[in-house]
Structure 1
Amino acid sequence: MLLWAGAVIGSLVMIGALALWFHYGSQVFFEMIRTGFAACF
């Protein structure tokens, strides 16, 4: 059950990332990831 939940959550994250990529384009997408990563550390 835990493995199934992890797979579902991972799939939703991937779908969300692809949706952002197609909506905003790669440049904005990578900039958002870089900014978010920098905010965490």
Structure 2
Amino acid sequence: MIQPISTRSELVTAPQTRVAFAILWGAAGIGGLALLAAAALWFHYGTAVFFEMITAGISACF
């Protein structure tokens, strides 16, 4: 019977999973900071000015 050269458990190594978790935690951290910045702008400028800033930023992109 033919045996596979390598199995799935041999392909996934500890350094690969560490890098994946580091990327995942980094993305979560950046997302959390963006959410915190949005909340800070909301509380500082109020609802109307906050939404005007968001719409002005979106319209500047297009």
TM normalised by structure 1 equals 0.98
Runs of 4+ more than 4 Å apart: none
Percent pairwise identity: 59
Q: Which is higher, the Rg of structure 1 or of structure 2?
A: 2
The RMSD of aligned alpha carbons is 0.3
Higher helix share: 1
Unaligned runs of 5+ in 2: 1-21
Asked if 1:9 corresponds to 2:30, the answer is yes
Q: Given the alignment of the two structures, is residue 38 of structure 1 paired with residue 42 of structure 2, yes or no?
A: no
- Alignment length (residue pairs): 41
Give the structure-2-normalised TM-score.
0.65
**Unaligned runs of at least 5 residues, structure 1:** none
